[in-house]
Amino acid sequence: MSDQKAIATPKRTKEILNKYEFFFKKSLGQNFIIDVNILRNIITKAEITKDMNIIEIGPGIGALTEQLALAANKVVAFEIDGRLLPILEDTLEGYNNVTIINQDILKADIIEICDKYFQDSKPVKVVANLPYYITTPILMQLLMANLPIASITVMIQKEVAERMAAKENTKEYGSLSIAVQYYTEARVETIVPKTVFMPQPRVDSAVLHLKMREVAPVKVMDETFFFNLVKASFQQRRKTLRNNLSRHFNEVFAKLEIENGLEHVGIDGTRRGGESLTIHEFGSLANYFYQRIKENS
């Protein structure tokens, strides 16, 4: 298919929008990509081949869906906006390897969907141009659901992508970085200017590639407690780790117990918040305090 016929051009996008008198809903964070090279770059970064099945979130008018259909075996796309269904039926006519589901991805049973539509043993990958306002809930749900997916490649707000892939001792590093990197190997692939979207968002975007881990980088006794402790450590970034933990766990541990715990695992409690701790140090801390709670219960 030539670039002239591709959906992701300013001319074709305007034609489609005018034909269906479609207007953007701010509440749904709709920003359509109008540069086909950006979409092909996403597919390259996601390492998609005809031997793979794809889940797409928020296909819009089908710009990315079209390129995915050309590159992959099958595509199942979730679109929450019912107004886009007749448009997608039109723009994707002829692509018999695409299924559009009018459902909120956050309410979908993805395993059931995979069983129904991907009745083969081909790897499943998630690819999407995600709305900024709901990026984190969607990604965290996908990561925590233990789904049979190999990777997630998404276009998201640049700042959020950098936070998700951040390493310790950087200002972007936080509880979100730890959560994402517990489940995946995260990498910001490319920065994308706001000019390739219609309408233009206020900020630039980035393509984030998340390769699912087969085994977490750190073995924790209780994942919920681990993430709770990580979040507490970053609560007030200017405070010391000791202060943040003492404040959060004040009903469970005395200050001296917090100090003893930090000493036991070899972490200096005067370190600033959690920004200098590696995921392995967080794992050691969480396991120590979780074990103490179990012993005292």
Q: Give the CA angle between residues 37, 41, 44 to the nearest 5°.
A: 140
Task: Please indicate if the annotation marks 261 as binding a ligand.
Answer: no
What is the DSSP code (8-state) at residue 221? S
Residuewise pLDDT in 10s, the chain (297 residues): 444 489 999 999 999 999 999 988 877 778 999 999 999 999 999 999 999 999 999 999 999 999 999 999 999 999 999 999 999 999 999 999 999 999 999 999 999 999 999 988 899 999 999 988 899 999 999 999 989 999 999 999 999 999 999 999 999 999 999 999 999 999 999 999 999 999 999 999 999 999 999 999 999 999 999 999 999 999 888 899 999 999 999 999 999 999 999 999 999 999 987 889 999 999 999 999 999 999 988
Q: Which of 31, 122, 3 is nearest to 74 (CA)?
A: 122
Q: Is 260 annotated as a binding residue?
A: no
Residue 33 is given by DSSP the state: E
CATH topology of domain 223-296: Helicase, Ruva Protein; domain 3 (1.10.8)
Ligand-binding annotation for 104, yes or no, is yes
Please, what CATH class does the domain formed by 10-212 belong to?
A: alpha beta
Is 60 marked within a binding site? no
Q: Check if the beta carbon of residue 156 is closer than 8 Å to that of residue 183.
A: no
Domains 10-212 and 223-296 in one fold: no
Which alpha helices (DSSP H) does 74-222 contain, by range?
A: 85-91, 110-117, 135-144, 158-165, 175-183
Please state, as a whole number, how many other Cβ atoms lie within 10 Å of the Cβ of residue 3: 12
Q: Which residue has the tokens 């092909």?
A: 40
How much is the pTM? 0.93
Instruction: For residue 243, say whether it is annotated as part of any ligand binding site.
Output: no
Domain spans of the chain, in order of start: 10-212, 223-296
Phi, psi of 57 (to 5 degrees): -120, 125
- The response to whether 55 counts as a known ligand-binding position is no
